[in-house]
Amino acid sequence: MSSPDLDLFVSDLDELYREVIMDHYRRPRNAQELQAPTIKTHGLNPFCGDESSIQLVLDGQGRVAQVGVQGRGCSISQSSSSLMSVLLKGKTVEEVEGLTELFRRMMQGKDLSEPERLSLGEAGVLEGVRRFPVRIKCALLAWMTLLDGLEEYRAKAKHAPE
Ligand code: ZN
């Protein structure tokens, strides 16, 4: 019997990758919604109907102190969101932007150096998704949503009174 949440596409990935993806899909990390976030953002992938909501609380040093991610949609989009969430704590906004850029480069088919790849942690398993171009947007959704939220935050900070 096939599990209803086991995406046909996911069953075509290497077993190790599949296990990580399905684990994060079934048990998403940092799923609690934060009540007083510094940064709050929401994104949609109309192709697949995937949704992503992200909240970050920054501490006094501008580092990520708390992360909340919620969403709905296919296993790739939701596991990607969870895999991303575990990378963010303790990072500055610049570091988070750097990771997001690395992830995007990886999904767009660029080969990362070993240290770059390591900095993405388990999210590196999503590299296998680039063999399936229609699913790349699913993998990127949470990351691009996060980037939008960071841009909005920067724009606001720039215009805030000193
Ligand atoms: Zn999707």
C-alpha of residue 146 to centroid of ligand 1, in Å: 17
Q: Looking at residue 153, what is its pLDDT?
A: 95
Neighbours of 46 (CB within 10 A): 7
C-alpha of residue 138 to centroid of ligand 1, in Å: 4
Phi, psi of 2 (to 5 degrees): -95, 145
Q: Is the model's pLDDT at 5 over the cut of 70?
A: no
C-alpha of residue 108 to centroid of ligand 1, in Å: 16
Mean per-residue pLDDT, 77-101: 97
Phi, psi of 88 (to 5 degrees): -90, -25
Which amino acid is present at 155?
A
Q: Is the model's pLDDT at 2 over the cut of 60?
A: no
* Of residues 111, 86, 109, the one with CA closest to residue 96: 86
Neighbours of ion ligand 1 (CB under 5 A): 48, 50, 74, 77, 138
Q: Looking at residue 7, what is its pLDDT?
A: 61
Which amino acid is present at 14?
D
Q: Rounded CA gap, 47 and 67, in Å?
A: 26
C-alpha of residue 52 to centroid of ligand 1, in Å: 11
C-alpha of residue 6 to centroid of ligand 1, in Å: 13
C-alpha of residue 45 to centroid of ligand 1, in Å: 7
Helix%, strand%, coil% for the chain, nearest 5: 50, 15, 30
Query: pLDDT, tens digit, for every residue of 13-63?
Result: 788 888 999 999 999 999 999 999 999 999 999 989 999 999 999 999 999
Which amino acid is present at 72?
R
Find out whether 79 and 25 touch, Cβ atoms under 8 Å.
yes
Query: pLDDT confidence of 158, banded at 50, 70, 90?
Result: confident
C-alpha of residue 70 to centroid of ligand 1, in Å: 14
Query: In a 3-state reduction of DSSP, which class is residue 46?
Result: coil
Q: Rounded CA gap, 93 and 99, in Å?
A: 10
Query: pLDDT confidence of 162, banded at 50, 70, 90?
Result: low
- pTM of the prediction? 0.91
Query: In a 3-state reduction of DSSP, which class is residue 107?
Result: helix
Q: Looking at residue 17, what is its pLDDT?
A: 86
Neighbours of 108 (CB within 10 A): 10
C-alpha of residue 98 to centroid of ligand 1, in Å: 24
C-alpha of residue 22 to centroid of ligand 1, in Å: 14
Is domain 3-159 classified as CATH 3.90.1010.10? yes
